[in-house]
Structure 1
Amino acid sequence: MTSWFRTYYEDEDLWLCFEADDEGWAVRQVEVRGADSKPVTAACLEEVLHLRDHADLAAMDWYERQYGVLAEGSLDGWQEQPHAAGIPAAEFERLWAEARRTLGASR
């Protein structure tokens, strides 16, 4: 079952928002700076896998500079992270759309 949640990294003043699959792996990830609410990451597993399988290292490097790096591994235990909370799918979709629009235009 798909889940959506957020955590907060105080040291970096960064909100991390995830869409996770039923095995607890990140499908999409959005990171937003707390101070100015500016998106810094909007990465997607499907896109990363496509690049890995059909493109070269230069394309992957461009993607990571444009949209950031997707979390690897299981996200199990997210509930113990600071300010962790589930979020509605609609909230994640709003954040995702805004982050993709911003990052796609700004870099």
Structure 2
Amino acid sequence: MRCYWDEEDVWFYFEVDVNGWVTRQVELQGPELTPIAAASLDEWQQADEAGRLDEYDTRFGITAELPVSEWEGHDPEQLTFEGFEEIWQAARRQIASQHS
């Protein structure tokens, strides 16, 4: 799904598991839709276990910390898996190129 936060001019894209937890999250900011985050919960947990959480957060950001059922004031648009995957791949490529 995706949501828009006009205060920061950011589009949030979410992949959510069956329990409502965000498994992957992309944030695109401004009129150019610049990727500012493309975080994976699995990768975040691996970075935490490896003691590299600060490095991961700085590069990719973090996923939402509450399940979507507890969010207030959002009006998400549903996306297909393919639609999310296209946004995810593009954001990851751009972030990787900025940090290489």
The TM-score, its normalising length taken from structure 2, stands at 0.90
Helix, strand or coil at the partner of 1:90: helix
Q: CA deviation at 1:91?
A: 0.8
**Pair 1:73-2:69 in alignment:** no
Larger % of helix: which?
1
Deviations 1:29-51 (A, max 9, x none): 00111311111110001111112
Deviations 1:3-61 (A, max 9, x none): xx0000000000000000001000000011131111111000111111222x11xx111
The match for 2:88 is 96
Runs (5+) with no aligned partner, structure 2: none
How many residues are matched? 99
The match for 1:33 is 29
Q: How far apart, in 2, do the equivalents of 1:48 and 1:68 lie?
A: 9
Identity of aligned residues (%): 33
The TM-score, its normalising length taken from structure 1, stands at 0.85
Runs (5+) with no aligned partner, structure 1: none
Greater than 2 Å deviation, 4+ residue runs? 77-80
What is the root-mean-square deviation of aligned Cα atoms in Å?
1.6
